Structure 1
Amino acid sequence: MTRLALQNAVADYGEGRVLGPLSLALAPGERVALVGRSGAGKSTLLSVMYDQWRDRGAALMPQELGLVPTLSVFHNVYMGRLDRHPWWRNLLTLMRPRRRDVEEISALLERLGIDDKRWAPSGELSGGQRQRVAAARVIHQGGGLLLADEPVSALDGPLSEVILTALTEAYPTVVLAMHDVELALHYCTRVIGIRDGSIAVDEPSQRLSAHDLLTLY
């Protein structure tokens, strides 16, 4: 992946400006945390990034997850690669999954601690379980850049670490919108603090502490 940049990016909601103008650049291999209070503009910034970079291999894990409730966990994860297969193979997989796909996805679900729900409809799962399914889907999708909006907000400490480790190992370059600044500092190499739609902090993680970021909240 080559260097990615936003230049004077803005976003409006109705007649109001909710983001920017702001500029930033991502270097290949960076793991970036977007932190700040709810409504500061983190999700909007991720959406702008995805709109700009989706044709350059960006994958998105949205906060609303986007799972299909009536489909099984397996099929929701399989959907991460729908565009890589012809329509007829996807249709056949809906009715009779191929062994190779089942084995690959089962291994991923096992790593995330949810393989026992492989054939359960995603609509029957808890919030934390659905979040793990969405994480599995975006890992299965793959690509050069992951944009994830609060990927572990419904998970406890140990599971949060399992998911964040899996996500950051699956993609060479990562941008995570997060509320937990301790996790942000641990898993990311750079922290961008958003306040009122603007960049208030942009520093390497090693130069920051959780206390340094309290002014954003």
Structure 2
Amino acid sequence: MTPPLVALTDQTLGWGGQAVLRGVTLRIEAGERIVLLGRSGVGKSTLLATLHDRMALRTALVPQDHGLVGSLSVFHNIWMGVLDDHGTAQNLRCLLWPRRAERARVEDTLDIVGLSGMGRRRVAQLSGGQRQRVALGRALLRGGAVVLGDEPVTALDPAQGAALLDHLGARFKTSILALHDVDQALRVATRIVGLRAGGIAVDAPAGDLTEADLLALYR
């Protein structure tokens, strides 16, 4: 049997010494497209952070706060996704004098996320939706076996969000995304994990669940 990417058994998860989720048992297999659902504050971010920390494979992360540096350009924020692929000297050189091939690589990603030609603009000058696109672009440039996203398309309209979720699905074999939109969840997920009352209330194939089943998580 192929070992799972991550396996949690009866775990208590939290931060700052405070338990947020209890009795968490979860096994993540390669190739799954998992969506986490539940009210704000129920523990989706805590679960995502735990899964990210325990992944042994290369992962890309789209955090809820975007994790961008406002004083740097869009180019440099997206390039951060591959900083650990290069040595210190190359990264310093790229900070000052990016090569044409490096700019072209980032520009290809900007085309995907709808920010063509904006590589030189400072992130501090961008709208919330544009910043979210930069964070998604950084994850797409990084690539890897797994992408984890904490509300990765909330600042985008439904059509834009759906298109970018499709790009993540095409780029990464495995995805674990915290979403709020039930319709999006049913469209992109192979499996849905619903959190409620400090634990996992739903863990089932997406095809076995209805919109009503998932809306019950928010009551």
Taking structure 1 as the reference length, the TM-score comes to 0.95
The residue number in structure 2 matching 1:31 is 33
Q: Deviations over 1:3-61 (max 9, x none)?
A: 221222222345642112211111111000000111111111001111211x3323321
The residue number in structure 2 matching 1:216 is 217
- Structure 2: give runs of 5+ residues left out of the alignment: none
Q: Residues 89-104 of structure 1 correspond to what in structure 2 (within 5 A)? A: 89-104=90-105
The residue number in structure 2 matching 1:164 is 165
1:193–1:116 Cα change, 3 Å = same
3-state SS of 2:108 partner: helix
Q: Residues 4-153 of structure 1 correspond to what in structure 2 (within 5 A)? A: 4=5, 5-14=7-16, 16-53=18-55, 55-153=56-154
3-state SS of 2:117 partner: helix
RMSD across aligned positions (CA): 1.4
Q: Deviations over 1:138-174 (max 9, x none)?
A: 1111111111100001000111012101111111000
Structure 1 CA distance for aligned equivalents of residues 8 and 59 of structure 2 = 14
Structure 2 CA distance for aligned equivalents of residues 163 and 140 of structure 1 = 13
Contact 1:18 1:196 (C-alpha < 8 Å) held by counterparts: no
Matched, 1:180 2:181: yes
Structure 2 CA distance for aligned equivalents of residues 108 and 12 of structure 1 = 35
Contact 2:73 2:121 (C-alpha < 8 Å) held by counterparts: yes
Contact 2:14 2:46 (C-alpha < 8 Å) held by counterparts: no
- Structure 1: give runs of 5+ residues left out of the alignment: none
Structure 1 runs of 4+ with >6 Å offset: none
3-state SS of 1:115 partner: coil
Structure 1 CA distance for aligned equivalents of residues 195 and 185 of structure 2 = 14
Taking structure 2 as the reference length, the TM-score comes to 0.94
> What's the offset of the Cα at 1:207?
1.2
Q: Deviations over 1:49-98 (max 9, x none)?
A: 11211x33233211011101011101100010001111111111111111
What count of residue pairs does the alignment treat as equivalent?
Answer: 216
Structure 1 CA distance for aligned equivalents of residues 22 and 118 of structure 2 = 42
Residue type of the alignment partner of 1:66: G
Structure 2 CA distance for aligned equivalents of residues 103 and 200 of structure 1 = 45
3-state SS of 2:64 partner: coil
> Structure 1 stretch 4-13 or stretch 176-185: which is displaced more?
4-13
Structure 1 CA distance for aligned equivalents of residues 112 and 50 of structure 2 = 31
Of all paired residues, the percent bearing the same amino acid is: 44
Structure 1 CA distance for aligned equivalents of residues 84 and 192 of structure 2 = 33
3-state SS of 1:56 partner: coil
